């Protein structure tokens, strides 16, 4: 994996870029953050995932080999990282129309469905699509109190037990949860469900390289050992003290400097359909980790960047107009691929038409890469901050590298911003309000607070 940040610098794009002396002036904070990343590594359990999962991988492989012949579909019940991560890896590494392929063309692997939201239509329509008695449902929740996931689980548990009986239904549910505490581990033990564990110190948005992501990937035939190998390769790069040799630290430093200059939107724009959902996964990681009201000293800072996902070349026709001529408030990160896994050639059908003839004999591979180069040029000419990440090819190893790269970059940005990148108090407020409105015991004070809120004025409702 390579990262080119030339077009972040003022010497390339003009006054809206980052002056080299600003990067130099940040050296004391960079050195402090680098020390903190080393000192706090024992608290960042996700950083050890590339090295400590050999037995877990064996358990997953044995379980998937046993269960694959018995099921037609593997259904993930999860939300946040528990849904975005498995979807991103599936999109990256498997056929884009995976579920539509005949089973033998899927490597005799089951279909994959990920159900995250509680829109009532979603689950009803899923039941119209699948035979639940031929599915394995993976309930993912560390706490076992995630309202969306646990409500889905209770509906499916009741349906399976009604159709199959309690004993047979048990084999159709597998739990991924905390090894020691929470509702789901208690339920799993009581009901006798097969269970995989998320290390207690690994938060949801950093959990893709745990069974949260590895189990769904393995059921779909993805090389999970390759994912971990790639992450380990990136970890070696990210332990460099010299920021000029550490891509994740440099990515974070440039984004923080850009933020200080008013660039409060981070656009991730892959030029590969396979990487489209990596951008959505990054959106949660970057937003939930860095969007904070208070810093570590208790000072009100309201910091963070708004992540936006785009896709090249699709969004050259929907968003790039804004990026090139709108406010100077964005950093655009392009992700390219040196070698696509397939090649398709454009025929010389209309050679006599100059506006079409130039395409004949070239490939979509060349066309997409050229469009990426053109977008980079247009943004640079307009004086807009942009940078490019390039994968040699989309493989398990390179995807593992990319996931781990963004995780380290996020943690390092948190250190530079002097915030806690691993909590989410803003999310908890919404959860608590939901619990209170539903009358969950223990949330009476929050319910009273909600009841006392100022009512809306009907004159402002049209």
Q: Which of 194, 364, 431, 446 is catalytic?
A: 431
Q: Is 189 annotated as catalytic?
A: no
Rounded average pLDDT over 427-442: 89
Side-chain half-sphere exposure of 183, counting CA atoms within 13 A: 13
* 330-337 and 386-391 strand pairing: parallel
Q: Is 431 annotated as catalytic?
A: yes
Q: Which of 68, 208, 255, 288 is catalytic?
A: 288
What DSSP character marks residue 161? Answer: H
* Greater pLDDT, 221 or 145: 221
Confidence class for position 95, pLDDT limits 50, 70, 90: very high
- pTM for the whole thing? 0.95
pLDDT tens for 213-272 read 999 999 999 999 999 999 999 999 999 999 999 999 999 999 999 999 999 999 999 999
DSSP 236-252: HHTT-SSGGG-HHHHHH
Q: Encoding tokens for residue 434?
A: 């939901």
Is the separation of the CB atoms in 414 and 421 below 8 Å?
yes
Query: In 3-state terms, what secondary structure has residue 270?
Result: strand
Question: Is the previous residue joined to 313 through a cis bond, with omega within 30 degrees of 0?
Answer: yes
Alpha-helical runs (H) found in 300-441 = 320-325, 354-357, 364-381, 396-417, 425-437
Please give the helix or strand (H or E) that residue 60 lies within, else none. Answer: helix 54-67
N-term to C-term CA, the chain: 52
Burial of 346 (0-12, 13-18, 19+ CB in 10 A): middle
Q: Is 288 annotated as catalytic?
A: yes
What DSSP character marks residue 172? Answer: G
pLDDT tens for 36-66 read 999 999 999 999 999 999 999 999 999 999 9
Please give the helix or strand (H or E) that residue 449 lies within, else none. Answer: helix 444-451
Q: Encoding tokens for residue 186?
A: 């208690």
In angstroms, how far is CA 3 from the centroid of its own chain? 19
Q: Which of 104, 317, 342, 456 is catalytic?
A: 317
pLDDT tens for 5-16 read 999 999 999 999
């Amino acid at each position: 994996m390579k990262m080119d940040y030339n077009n972040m610098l003022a010497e390339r794009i003009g006054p809206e870029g980052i002056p080299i002396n600003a990067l130099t002036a940040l050296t004391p904070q960079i050195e402090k953050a680098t020390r903190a990343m080393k000192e706090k590594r024992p608290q960042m359990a996700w950083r050890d995932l590339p090295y400590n999962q050999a037995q877990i991988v064996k358990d997953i492989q044995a379980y998937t080999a046993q269960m694959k012949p018995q099921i037609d579909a593997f259904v993930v019940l999860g939300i946040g990282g528990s849904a975005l991560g498995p979807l991103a890896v599936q999109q990256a590494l498997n056929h884009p129309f995976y579920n539509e392929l005949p089973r033998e063309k899927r490597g005799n692997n089951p279909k994959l469905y990920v159900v995250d939201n509680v829109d009532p239509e979603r689950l009803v329509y899923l039941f119209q699509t699948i035979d639940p008695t031929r599915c394995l449902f993976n309930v993912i929740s560390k706490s076992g109190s995630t309202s969306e996931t646990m409500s889905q689980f209770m509906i499916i548990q009741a349906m399976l037990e009604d159709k199959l009986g309690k004993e047979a239904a048990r084999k159709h549910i597998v739990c991924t949860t905390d090894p020691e505490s929470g509702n789901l581990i208690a339920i799993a033990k009581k009901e006798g469900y097969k269970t995989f564990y998320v290390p207690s110190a690994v938060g949801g948005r950093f959990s893709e390289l745990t069974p949260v992501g590895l189990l769904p990937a393995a059921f779909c035939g993805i090389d999970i050992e390759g994912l971990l190998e790639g992450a380990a390769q990136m970890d070696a790069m990210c332990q460099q003290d010299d920021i000029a040799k550490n891509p994740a630290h440099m990515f974070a430093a440039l984004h923080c400097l850009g933020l200080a200059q008013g660039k409060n939107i981070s656009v991730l724009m892959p030029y590969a359909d396979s990487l489209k959902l990596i951008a959505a996964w990054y959106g949660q990681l970057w937003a939930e980790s860095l969007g904070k009201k208070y810093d570590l000293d208790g000072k009100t800072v309201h910091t963070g960047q708004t992540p936006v996902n785009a896709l090249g070349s699709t969004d050259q026709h929907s968003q790039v107009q804004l990026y090139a001529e709108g406010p100077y408030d964005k950093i655009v990160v392009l992700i390219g691929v040196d070698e696509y896994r397939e090649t398709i050639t454009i025929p010389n059908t209309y050679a006599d038409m100059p506006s079409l003839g130039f395409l004949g004999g070239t490939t979509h591979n060349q066309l997409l890469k050229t469009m990426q180069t053109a977008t980079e040029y247009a943004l640079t000419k307009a004086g807009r901050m942009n940078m490019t990440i390039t994968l040699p090819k989309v493989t398990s190893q390179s995807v593992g590298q990319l996931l781990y790269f963004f995780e380290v970059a996020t943690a390092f940005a948190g250190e530079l911003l002097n915030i806690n990148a691993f909590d989410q108090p803003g999310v908890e407020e919404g959860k608590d309000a939901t619990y209170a409105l539903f009358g969950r015991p223990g949330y009476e004070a929050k319910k009273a607070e909600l009841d006392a809120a100022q009512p809306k004025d009907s004159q402002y409702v049209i």
